[in-house]
Each structure stands twice: as C-alpha cells, then as structure tokens.
A and B are shown apart, each in its own frame.
Chain A
Amino acid sequence: MIKVEKLTKKFGKNEVLRGISTEIAKGEVVSIIGPSGSGKSTFLRCLNVLETPTTGNIIVENQNLTDSKTPIHKMRQQIGMVFQHFHLFPHLTVLENLTYAPMKAKGVKKQVAVENARELLKKVGLSEKESAYPSSLSGGQKQRVAIARALAMEPELMLFDEPTSALDPEMVKEVLDVMKDLAKSGMTMVVVTHEMGFAREVADRILFLDHGVLLEEGKPAEFFTQPKTARAKEFLDKIL
C-alpha cells in the first residue's frame, strides 16, 4: 500500500532522515519508535508530504507523492492524520469539525456528512458533545474527536503522530482504546508512539529509528525480547 524508497530529509544542513526504505501492507499496523530526535515524526510527516522529502520516493497506491504532478490534496484525502496537539478547528463545533472536510474537500452532501459524523462520534463515545466547541473538551475527548475527524474522510490509511503524548495520564487509555478498535477493524495504521504497551500489543511490526536511520524492524514479540542491535537494546533498557 505504501512504499518508501531511500527517503532523505534535510533541514538546512541538518540531516534528519538518511535514506529510509520500507513497505507497509494494507491492513498492517506499524509502530515507529526511537529516541527523541531520531526522525520518527519527520518520517511520518513525509508520508503525507506535510514535509517535502529532500530525495527519495513515497508511493501510495501506485501514485508517487514526491512527483510534483501528483494532486497532493486528493491523495491526502485518503490519508488521515492525528496530531500530538489535536489541532481541532476551534471556531467550529465538534460536529462541524467532522463534517467540514468531507463537505468542502470531497463534496459530500450535508445530510450524508452529518449522518456519518454522528455515527463516528458514537463510535468514539462522544455523541453528547456534538454541539460543543473544542475548548470545552478534555484532552482525551479532543483527541478522540480528532481521530473521528480524520476518519470522516474515510481514509485508506491513518497516521498517528504521538497521539497520547500531550495527554494527562488518566486520559491515555480512552484514546488508545479507540485506536485498538480501529486496528481491529482492519485499518492500515502508522503510529509514532512512546506507549510501548500499545506497540507491543497492537502493532504487527515495529520500526526502530535512530539518527534518521531505520536501524531495526521486526515483530513486536521479537523486538521487545531480543533486539538485534545494541542501540535498540540500550533504548529498551532505558524505557522498560
């Protein structure tokens, strides 16, 4: 579904990604972990071209996103993204946050968009908040709305950029539960996370990044018990 070929990204002289290649299959849940500054978030943001790669190819459903002729905003409609800091639209109600993009970017009829949105709010357990503004929600509620907003576009693939890192500890579970349900439903997911429990339990594959290099990848069971590289071992010793 996604093929990443020799991806590099430089910010000025700072080389953040140094030639990453990997493939993600449909329905796969991939967790990206690694120390801070390893390039995890940049890698994820390259997948929907919020960061333009310096060199390399990102091929989603046979379309090369780094090709300037590819209609990027059409491709992004198939790739949902959830941010660490939610980025809900503060001047719109919860329901409007969900219906805005389907109506304005995809031309979905209002009635259909609203129906869809209500369904999704029910799924994330926030039906009663549909006419609230984001500022009145807790962090966990905001993130659940943000997930529902991304799903409202009916994407093929969901990207999560440290979705629980800005949350109070007691709110982490409600967000992870929504993500687990989503994974079970067969959604293709790429998740940058510090939640090792989630990575271990839900992910099909772990990518370990360090200094912009994909140092190690493998099944969670193997990666967490017998890491192949010294760097991964050291990282796991520090956090587990």
Chain B
Amino acid sequence: MNLDFSQITPYIPFMLEGIWVTLKFVVVALLFGSILGTLLALFKIGTVKPLNWIAIVYTSIFRGTPLILQLMIFYFAIPQLTGYDISPFLAAILAFGLNSAAYISEIIRAGIQAVDKGQTEAALALGVPYRQMMIDIILPQAFKNILPALMNEVITLTKESALVSTISVLDLMRRAQVVGSDLYRSFEPLLFVGFIYWAMVFVLSAIGKVIERRLKVSDQS
C-alpha cells in the first residue's frame, strides 16, 4: 500500500472542472432525449400506423445496440461518410441524446398507459375534448408514474456519461486518466472522481425523492 493523496492536490482544480463538463453534457443530452422521447411516446400511443412503426423501429435500434458503438459511429463513422469534422462534444450529445430518447419514450409510454382507463372515459363522458383531457387529466397522473423511472434514467445517464472519455471529451473520467498518466498513479485520481460521481448521484436521488413526495399530496387525506 502506497497511497498518497497529497500528490493529486495540485490537480484537484483541473479534475473539478470536469464536473462542469459532465453536468453540461448530461443536461443537454437529457433535454434533447426528453423532447425526442416525448414525441416518440406520443407516436407510440397514437393511432397513426406509420408513426407507430417509426417509433417502434427507432426504439428497437437504439436499445438493441451498445451505446459505445453508437458513440463511435457518430464520432468516427460520420466524418468518414460526410466529411464533416464533428466535435467530440457534439458527437457525444447526439449519441447520448438519441439513445436516451429511446429509453425515455418507453418510460413515458408506459406511464401514460398505466393511468386508469376510467379516467379517459370520465373525461370524455363529461364532454372534455381529447387534447384538453390529455393535458389536464392524463399527463399529470402519468407524470407520477413516470418520475421514479425517469430519475433512474437521469442517474444512469450521469454515470454512463463516463463513456465519452473514450472519444477524448475532457469530462471527469477523462481528467482522472490524464492525471493518472501524469503522476504514474491511477488509484488516487480514480478514487477522487469516483467519489464525485457518487456525490452527484446522491444529490440527484435526493432531489428525485423530494419531488416524488410533493406529488404524493393527493394520495393521502
């Protein structure tokens, strides 16, 4: 055992900057994924057959292949195909955004379909138009079903974001590797960023729990 954390002290600011890179990446990918995922979910529950199929095939492709493969395709294969020199950050956003859209669309679809069918019938019987019913009655209830699974997806995305280090985005993970090769010591920087990942996930889970508790108000008397 020759652990010496004092050696990484000068590198701490450099590694902490990685938090910002990772967070920026997660937030943008998640926004992109949520918007596309909601759209796909609506395609899936709708009655327009071609849209059903598009959403189903899309989900099947992005859930059926490794994320790292999708990442490599966007970073290495697209420039070869189009000649456009894509930045690592953009390639990463595209791969992660499109990938999480597939998962999020399933989460949202399941959440909407889990709302009791009687709710739709009650709203329709009162003469509420379909769109209005979706917005006021179905989606607020679906959101409660969706939230835990969506929080899970956010946490997964945060951790999986470390994959972008393979295409030299300077995120937390990549920075730990840089420090490691600089010092010829891997354990300390890896442990350090490991702690940061854990802390980020811890905070995210806590936020999720608070929101969930707020939404539960109507469940109790």
Contact = CB atoms under 8 A, between A and B. Distances in A.
Interface of A: 48, 50, 73-81, 83, 85, 87-92, 100-101, 104-106, 132-136, 149-150, 153
A50 B124 contact: yes
Interface stretch (B48-56, B57-65, B125-133, B155-163): B125-133
A50 to B, nearest CB: 6
A132 B127 contact: no
Interface string B199-221: 00000000000000000011111
Contact of A101 (B127, B144, B219): B127
B129 A105 contact: yes
Interface in B110-164: 116, 118-119, 121-129, 132, 136-137, 140-141, 144
Contacts of A78: 127
B119 A89 contact: yes
By Cβ-Cβ distance, the 5 closest A-B pairs, closest first, are A136-B221, A77-B127, A87-B118, A87-B122, A101-B126
Interface of B: 116, 118-119, 121-129, 132, 136-137, 140-141, 144, 217-221
Contacts of B221: 132-133, 135-136
A150 B219 CA distance: 23
A74 B136 CA distance: 18
Contact of B122 (A73, A89, A104, A106): A89
Nearest to B137: A89
20 contacts: A50-B121, A73-B128, A79-B125, A80-B125, A81-B122, A81-B125, A85-B118, A87-B118, A87-B122, A89-B119, A91-B141, A104-B128, A104-B132, A105-B127, A105-B128, A106-B127, A134-B218, A135-B219, A136-B221, A153-B127
A90 B125 CA distance: 17
If over half of B's interface residues share one DSSP class (helix, strand or loop), that class is named, otherwise mixed; here it is helix
Given A83-B118, A100-B136, A90 B218 contact: yes
Given A89-B137, A90-B141, A135-B221, A76 B119 contact: no
B119 A105 contact: no
B127 A136 contact: no
A104 B125 CA distance: 14
Nearest to A132: B221
A48 B220 contact: no
Contacts of B220: 133, 135-136
Contacts of A132: 221
A108 to B, nearest CB: 12
A87 B141 CA distance: 13
B180 to A, nearest CB: 51
B143 to A, nearest CB: 9
Contact of B218 (A74, A79, A91, A150): A91
